[in-house]
Amino acid sequence: MPPPADAPFLLTCRRQPTAVVPVWFMRQAGRSLPEYRAVRGTGNILDAIGRPELAAEITLQPVRRYGVDAAILYSDIVVPLAAIGFGVEVVPGVGPVVREPFRSKADLARLRPLEPEDDTPYVLETVRAVVAELNVPLIGFAGAPFTVASYLIEGRGSRTCSLTKRLMREDTATWHALLDALADLALSSLRSQVAAGASAVQLFDSWAGALSPDDYTRYVLPATRRIFAGLADLDAPRIHFGVGTGELLGLMAGAGADVVGVDWRVPLDAARARVGPGKTLQGNLDPSVCLAPMDVVEAEVAKVLEAGGGTGHVFNLGHGVLPQTDPGVLQRVVELVHAHQRLDG
């Protein structure tokens, strides 16, 4: 049974008024939960994602525990790449590692279109299994072309993204071909997740904050825009998230998403001025606040709610839940958000 169209999360993504501010947490499913650690085992995360029953259970755990307003699929941004055989692993404590990084035009031949039903049937089974049990919307997701490209080119996460930027400036034609191919991967994956029952999608451009506004505009925005345009016919709100993207918020809003994610560095009222009217904001409690005493948590949640301003604000952290977070604190955050009396409600 699909979630009701008047679910607070979906209404808010569309800037329609709701009785409460909806809340969910990036990485709400994962290491901070004892029930996750109990079922997860020690295997590779890509193996866990390949087991629909396990991945569905992990996806559902935080919804049961916290009563959050949305679930997010337990998956990884490199799943489509791994599925088409590019050769990528996820190493604990390191993140994605590409054995033979993308170096030049010839490597374009190592990319092929994703056939979701054939290449990632387990993802779609997980989506269907989750939706069958869920009473709130499920958010599907994919990695954005720049961020995925940076793993392909650097071989692993890189603070400077210097090899990535070198390729984009040195062989711009290959760069755009690569980003278009990665945009197609993301688009195919996201469309298949929605077809299987996801109610919304989030595009993670975690490393975009490494770019200046000019470089973002020239080298990244076109492919990103294609993804959101390619989702426009679906009845699923589109969320666009990056870290350290304060200078890019206006450009990211222009890429076509309905919701722009904001990290904790930019107060939401300042973010709203940059994003412009007509968009919903998602964020932006500093995840490290959840390690602080409860009076600090309460004060910081109140500040985010106030800056969020009501309609058009999905409460979230500014980045993922830190592994050492006490679930009891997140439980309290959900209570605080749901108890908030909206000034415009």
- Which residues form the catalytic set? 27, 31, 40, 76, 151
* Contact flag: residue 42 with its own copies (CB under 8 A): no
Residue 246 makes contact with its own copies by CB under 8 A = yes
Residues 20, 177, 195, 292: which binds its own copies (CB under 8 A)?
292
* Residue from 95, 101, 222, 244 in contact with its own copies (CB under 8 A): 244
Q: Which residues of 219-229 are buried (b: 16+ CB within 10 A; e: fewer)?
A: bbbebbebbbe
* Using rule CB under 8 A, residue 343 touches its own copies: no
- Could you say which DSSP state residue 128 is in? H
Candidates 70, 72, 266, 301; binder of its own copies (CB under 8 A) is 266
Peptide bond preceding 284: is omega within 30 degrees of 0, i.e. cis? yes
Under 8 Å between Cβ of 237 and 14: yes
Check binding of 162 to its own copies (CB under 8 A).
yes
Angle, vertex CA 227, rays to CA 225 and CA 233, nearest 5: 105
Pattern 297-336, its own copies, x by CB under 8 A? ------x------------------x-x------------
CA angle in degrees (0–180, nearest 5) for 143-147-148: 65
Does 155 bind its own copies (CB under 8 A)? Our answer is: no
Residue whose token pair is 């993207």: 245
Q: Is there a contact between 22 and 8 (Cβ–Cβ < 8 Å)?
A: yes
Question: Does 265 engage in binding with its own copies (CB under 8 A)?
Answer: yes
Residue 271 CA from chain centroid, whole number: 18
Per CB under 8 A, does 170 bind its own copies? yes
Q: Is 25 exposed, middle or buried (0-12, 13-18, 19+ CB in 10 A)?
A: buried
Does position 166 bind its own copies by CB under 8 A?
yes
Q: Considering the rule CB under 8 A, would residue 289 count as an interface residue with its own copies? A: yes
Nearer to its own copies, 16 or 162 (CB): 162
Distance CA 100, CA 157 (A): 14
Nearest to 246 by CA among 221, 268, 215: 268
Under rule CB under 8 A, residue 270 binds its own copies: yes
Question: Which of 161, 190 has the CB closer to its own copies?
Answer: 161
Q: Does 287 bind its own copies (CB under 8 A)?
A: yes
Q: Would you tell me which residues interact with its own copies (CB under 8 A)?
A: 159-162, 165-166, 169-170, 209, 211-215, 244, 246-247, 264-267, 270, 286-289, 291-293, 296, 303, 322, 324
